[in-house]
């Protein structure tokens, strides 16, 4: 996210994909402590269930049964026969966003936006663009800056690894250049960016390590494929108690120093500048929003 003082903070620590044709999964999502849900009509839905999934996720979005969770719909890719019907249905349902796989260019974003507007989508329905191809890596800044309606970038790390013929390995070293490139594009454009999924749901240690890596890199949250991943992601992408306590001390020391006319202000032996204070204020703001939601 942008670090501007007037930034609207929306926690997106945990963003869970839920298969749109699975009634049990749609019901389960109502009970999970997840920040956002991606109701999926793409990878998790068989071709003969696409129309049914489209109707189910639209009904879920309009049901009012998901509390303050942010609700989005992932449509099928622009190279499929289903995408336009998916997008028009989503426009009518009015989710927080439509999640579009394999966005490769500014033209893709323009097409999505035109269809949404032609279908009278409400202004609050944003575009979340999935970046998961070599083309998207090369055009990340162009895509990120192409539309005000596009507010979130989502890393599609599985497809990116496939396209690159790269290994899916601990530490993700074959993908780090692409992750960094897209993260930089998001920050340049003032957009949110979500890390990709972790596939091995039976390896909680590996998942946590990847969450920590993503948070350290600067991602705003992580996309998830299983309910057991929600709470670890929530913890990893939120300010911890030590960070909150330190942020309070930084702000107090800075305010006291300014009031006293001090030229140099330190906390724990480290010089404090405006950028450190801005980071501290943002950490406290995030913690406050999360506490309110909890």
The tens digit of pLDDT for each residue in 206-235 reads 999 999 999 999 999 999 999 999 999 999
Paired strand residues for 98 = 73, 127
CA–CA separation, 289 vs 144, rounded Å? 26
pLDDT for the residue 34: 97
User: Of 241, 257, 274, 275, which is closest to residue 266 (Cα–Cα)?
Assistant: 257
Is residue 5 scored above 50 in pLDDT? no
How open is the CA angle 73-75-78, to the nearest 5 degrees? 150
Query: For 84-128, how does the pLDDT look when each residue is reduced to its tens digit (9 = 90+)?
Result: 999 999 999 999 999 999 999 999 999 999 999 999 999 999 999
The whole-angstrom separation of Cα 177 and Cα 173 is: 8
C-alpha 90, offset from chain centre: 19
pLDDT of residue 293: 81
Q: What is the mean pLDDT of the chain?
A: 95
Distance of CA 177 to the CA centre of its chain: 19
Residue 6: pLDDT band (50, 70, 90) is low
Pseudo-torsion of CA 101, 11, 138, 177, nearest 10°? -120
Query: Which of 17, 15, 10 shows the shortest CA–CA distance to 33?
Result: 15
Across 246-250, average pLDDT: 95
Which pTM value belongs to this model? 0.93
Q: Is the pLDDT of residue 195 over 50?
A: yes
pLDDT of residue 154: 98
| Four-residue CA torsion sign, 232, 236, 239, 242 | positive
Share of the chain above pLDDT 70, in %: 98
Q: Which two tokens stand for residue 17?
A: 């994909």
Which range (108-117, 194-203, 281-290) has the least confidence? 281-290
Q: Above 90 in pLDDT, residue 26?
A: yes
């Amino acid at each position: 996210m942008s670090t501007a003082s007037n930034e609207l903070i929306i926690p997106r620590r945990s963003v869970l994909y839920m298969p749109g044709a699975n009634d049990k999964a749609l019901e389960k999502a109502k009970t999970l402590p997840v920040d956002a849900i991606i109701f999926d009509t793409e990878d998790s839905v068989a071709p003969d269930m696409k129309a049914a999934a489209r109707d189910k996720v639209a009904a879920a979005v309009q049901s009012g049964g998901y509390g303050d969770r942010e609700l989005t719909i992932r449509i099928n890719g622009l190279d499929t026969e289903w995408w336009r019907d998916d997008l028009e249905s989503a426009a009518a349902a009015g989710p927080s966003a439509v999640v579009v796989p394999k966005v490769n260019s500014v033209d893709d974003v323009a097409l999505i936006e035109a269809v949404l507007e032609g279908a009278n989508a409400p202004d609050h329905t944003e575009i979340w663009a999935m970046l998961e191809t070599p083309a998207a890596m090369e055009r990340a800044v162009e895509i990120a800056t192409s539309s005000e309606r596009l507010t979130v970038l989502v890393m599609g790390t599985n497809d990116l690894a496939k396209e690159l013929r790269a290994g899916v390995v601990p530490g993700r070293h074959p993908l780090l250049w692409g992750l960094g490139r897209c993260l930089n594009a998001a920050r340049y454009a003032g957009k949110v960016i979500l890390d990709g999924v972790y596939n091995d749901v039976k390896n909680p240690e590996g998942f946590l390590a990847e969450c920590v890596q993503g948070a350290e890199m600067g991602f705003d949250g992580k996309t998830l494929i299983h309910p057991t991943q929600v709470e670890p992601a929530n913890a990893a992408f939120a300010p911890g108690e030590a960070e909150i306590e330190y942020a309070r001390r930084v702000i107090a020391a800075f305010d006291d120093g300014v009031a006293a006319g001090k030229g140099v202000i330190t906390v724990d032996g480290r010089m404090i500048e405006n950028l450190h204070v801005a980071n501290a204020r943002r950490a406290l703001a995030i913690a406050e929003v999360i506490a309110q939601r909890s």
